[in-house]
């Protein structure tokens, strides 16, 4: 087995014809295509509804019940409409480090994030006004606390302690769909882009 530290990301480059990209899920989810690799190495194309026929009694099935959050936040430098656009993509919580506690935070939290247009945000903070249902307008402030390789730790604060971070990103964030879909996020993605087993943290 190859040492994971020696694996190159370039080894996973492959052509992806535009016609084979499913930009939206099928209406009936279990009719989607399923690629099966048998023990002898042979491949077979089936549909997901066949999965029960393909499993044996000693197989282990791992279910992904994670929910994709509205992790992309778009700020404007200077807070107005004319400043440079700064995109903050939340990856994982730092403080509190637990997802549930971070989402429930009412006094601020910090996350490891990718920052788009990072060169335009060298110091200071960026803000945005967020309309939170039932709470009115909340001012969200983001500060870059430190760099960590390709990512940064971003501190978030807001001016209403009756609002949780979960409410903030639900109202202000966008669902991050993969760039290979070559389209903008749509309203239908809020449900269609989730696994049918997903649940909120």
133-154 pLDDT, tens digit per residue, is 999 999 999 999 998 888 999 9
User: What integer pLDDT is reported at residue 197 of this predicted model?
Assistant: 67
The secondary structure of the chain in percent helix, strand, coil, rounded to multiples of 5, reads 20, 30, 45
Is the domain of 49 the same as that of 83?
no
Residue 64 lies in a domain: no
Mean pLDDT, the chain, integer: 87
Is the domain of 49 the same as that of 77?
no
User: What integer pLDDT is reported at residue 17 of this predicted model?
Assistant: 87
E strand or H helix that includes residue 139: strand 136-148
Q: How confident is the model at residue 35 (pLDDT cuts 50, 70, 90)?
A: very high
- Domain count of the fold of the chain: 2
Q: How confident is the model at residue 159 (pLDDT cuts 50, 70, 90)?
A: very high
- CA dist 170 and 186 (Å) reads 15
- CA dist 30 and 122 (Å) reads 47
Residue 142 lies in a domain: yes
Residue-range definition of the domain harbouring residue 25: 4-54
Asked if the model's pLDDT at residue 110 lies above 90, the reply is: yes
51-78 pLDDT, tens digit per residue, is 999 998 898 888 877 778 889 999 988 7
Per DSSP bridges, beta strands 43-47 and 33-37 are antiparallel
Residue 29 lies in a domain: yes
Q: Is the pTM of this model over 0.85?
A: no
Is the domain of 12 the same as that of 76?
no
The torsion of the CA quartet 192, 193, 197, 201, rounded to 10 degrees, works out to: -120
Is the domain of 34 the same as that of 93?
no
- CA dist 190 and 33 (Å) reads 22
């Amino acid at each position: 087995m190859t040492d994971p530290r020696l694996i190159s990301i370039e080894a996973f480059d492959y052509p992806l014809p535009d016609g084979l990209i499913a930009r939206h899920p099928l209406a009936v989810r279990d009719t989607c295509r399923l690629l099966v690799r048998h023990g002898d190495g042979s491949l077979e194309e089936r549909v997901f509804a066949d999965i029960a026929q393909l499993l044996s009694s000693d197989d282990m099935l791992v279910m992904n019940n994670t929910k994709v959050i509205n992790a992309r936040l778009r700020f404007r430098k200077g807070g107005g409409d004319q400043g440079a656009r700064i995109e903050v993509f939340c990856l994982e919580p730092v403080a509190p480090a637990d997802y549930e506690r971070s989402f429930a935070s009412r006094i601020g939290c910090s996350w490891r994030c990718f920052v788009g247009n990072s060169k335009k945000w060298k110091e200071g903070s960026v803000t945005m006004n967020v309309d939170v249902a039932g709470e009115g307008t909340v001012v969200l402030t983001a500060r870059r606390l430190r760099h960590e390789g390709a990512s940064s730790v971003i501190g978030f604060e807001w001016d209403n302690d009756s609002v949780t971070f979960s409410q903030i990103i639900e109202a202000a964030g966008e669902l991050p769909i993969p760039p290979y879909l070559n389209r903008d996020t749509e309203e239908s993605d809020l449900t269609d882009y989730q696994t049918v087993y997903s649940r909120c943290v």
